[in-house]
Amino acid sequence: MRNFDFYSPTYFVFGKDREAETGRYVKRFGGSRVLVVYGGQSAKRSGLLDRIMACLKEENLYAVELGGVKPNPRSGLVYEGIDLCRREKIDFILAVGGGSVIDTAKAIAIGVPYDGDFWDFFSGKVPEQALPVGTVLTIAASGSEGSPDSIITNEKTLEKNGAEADCLRPCFSVLDPALTESLPAYQTACGITDIMAHTFERYFTNTPDVEVTDRMLEGVLLAMLHEGRRVMDDPHNYEARANIMWAGMVCHNDIMGVGRQQDWNSHHLEHVLSAKYDCAHGAGLAVIMPAWMHYCAEHGGEKRLAQMAVRVFGCQMDFDEPKRTALEGIEAFRAFLRSIGMPLTFAEIGADPADIPELVEMNHIGDGKTGGYIGLDKQAHFDIYNFAAGSCVPET
């Protein structure tokens, strides 16, 4: 196990109707003039936004709204939010929504106290201060409610980049699973895929002797298989949604990712898909992850894939040919993704195989390699996109 630091100071307020306490927590964490960031019309239509504004008012907090965050959130709204905060002397940012809303709130939070262009922090500069951010989560997927990350797409360049720093961890997050019950099935399934991806990105590692985090990650995956199926069968299963919501947080606040090299190739490979085709991040991951796993199985990574197959998907170990077990596990994963309604092919997310050279260019690989588990050079990126585009067509 490697040396590491772990720090997750977010206060989690979990359960039915807990969003009614939001105002109290904004106050507790020092807010008095609040920017409320949200997405589209659903927060308005559902009445959630009104309830949040009312509970802020009850605590005598001043609040300004900023709506319009879209999936794969864009830099434009961040600039707008920074201006608004400065004009209104905002001292606290409250995100009401999913990962896109939270990531936008975080980007605004580091932009406000910074003299330069906030994009600097998405180009390598490490943020050291930020306005405090609180969240009311409405989609279980990104883990941004407990993570130190924000991911924003630059409108001009279509680059989809991340910023990471402890000051980006929310000071509190309200997690009410009931708020996710109204999500369309497709979005629920995309969230399940994203949560499993965050788990896999940590699971696939070359660091030896990480049994305790391995076993915890496998535990989350097992729970996701079970609860994922339950929630797809019954979208109003509060209990399944509660398990998924907590899984989304624990798999991404990094308590199970510490002390080990992580991979993140699937995310690298996916980001250009959702940036170019504006597909859901989870959908892009469903297309990329099994293809990436196939590549790893063929290029020396079969041992951990076999471990995943046995421990998570209940496959029988082939002690003579571990690769067979690995491939069986990948097929089981693909079957699960298909069972929850996820796309598995380029065509299903509106991607065009003819764009593959451009996608590879967008990954800025140069002569290097990306990722941790199996390093991927330019050719490997080609191969994986090609595999995802062609030979990996599922039999449904």
Please identify, using beta-carbon distances, which residue of 24 and 51 lies nearer to a copy of itself.
24
With CB under 8 A as the contact rule, the residue among 153, 187, 213, 370 that binds a copy of itself is 213
State CA 93 to chain mean position distance: 20
* Residue 214 found at the interface with a copy of itself (CB under 8 A): yes
Please identify, using beta-carbon distances, which residue of 209 and 361 lies nearer to a copy of itself.
209
Choices 56-64, 83-91, 234-242, 367-375 (CB under 8 A): range interacting with a copy of itself: 234-242
With CB under 8 A as the contact rule, the residue among 50, 58, 128, 239 that binds a copy of itself is 239
Report in angstroms how near the CB of residue 138 gets to a copy of itself at its nearest.
17
Give 12's contacts (C-beta < 8 A, 6+ positions apart): 146, 172, 173, 175, 249
Is 180 in contact with 138 (CB distance < 8 Å)?
Answer: yes
Token digits of residue 242: 């509660």
Cβ-based burial of 395 (10 A; exposed 0-12, middle 13-18, buried ≥19): exposed
Report in angstroms how near the CB of residue 338 gets to a copy of itself at its nearest.
22
Annotate each residue in 12-31 with x if it binds a copy of itself (CB under 8 A) or - if it does not, as one string. xxxxx-x-------------
Annotate each residue in 247-286 with x if it binds a copy of itself (CB under 8 A) or - if it does not, as one string. x--x----x--xx---------------------------
* Residue 303 found at the interface with a copy of itself (CB under 8 A): no
* Residue 2 found at the interface with a copy of itself (CB under 8 A): yes
Q: What is the C-alpha separation between 324 and 330, in angstroms, rounded?
A: 10
Give 179's contacts (C-beta < 8 A, 6+ positions apart): 19, 48, 136, 137, 138
Residues from 311 through 370 that contact a copy of itself (CB under 8 A): none
Is 64 in contact with 35 (CB distance < 8 Å)?
Answer: yes
* Residue 236 found at the interface with a copy of itself (CB under 8 A): no
Residue 371: closest CA among 319, 293, 303, 306: 293
Token digits of residue 293: 């796993």
Please identify, using beta-carbon distances, which residue of 1 and 126 lies nearer to a copy of itself.
1
Q: How many CB atoms lie within 10 A of CB 157?
A: 12
With CB under 8 A as the contact rule, the residue among 189, 231, 240, 392 that binds a copy of itself is 240
* Residue 196 found at the interface with a copy of itself (CB under 8 A): no
